[in-house]
A = this chain, B = another copy of it.
Amino acid sequence: MFVILTYDVGEKRVNKVRKKLKEYLIWTQNSVFEGEITEGKLKKCLYEVNKILNKQEDSLYIYEIKTSSHIKKKVIGIDKSFDDIFL
């Protein structure tokens, strides 16, 4: 399935969270990851990120779309994958 994952995480934890998410998805905007992922891998990813988060302060939204044909993406301004630049 296709996943859009957005996050709002405290400064102390944000680098750890990003590093973990990069193992599973593509970093496409400052607070956004995207990618094709299996249900099993997503479960593992969220289990691991869960351990880093402070659930009273942080927030993770995971939007699951069964097939990417159900979604259309438009971009205004900069369109980049942060992974291209920093990895």
A residues within 8 Å of B by Cβ? Answer: 4, 6-8, 28-32, 46, 49-50, 53-66, 70-80
Contacts and interface: CB of A to CB of B under 8 A. Distances in A.
Ranked 7 nearest A-B pairs via Cβ: A31-B31, A60-B76, A59-B78, A70-B70, A8-B30, A62-B74, A55-B77
14 contacts: A8-B29, A8-B31, A8-B78, A28-B61, A29-B59, A30-B59, A49-B76, A58-B77, A60-B75, A61-B73, A63-B73, A64-B71, A65-B70, A66-B70
A62 B58 CA distance: 23
Contact of A31 (B4, B32, B58, B78): B32
Contacts of A58: 76-78
Nearest to A7: B29
B61 A29 contact: yes
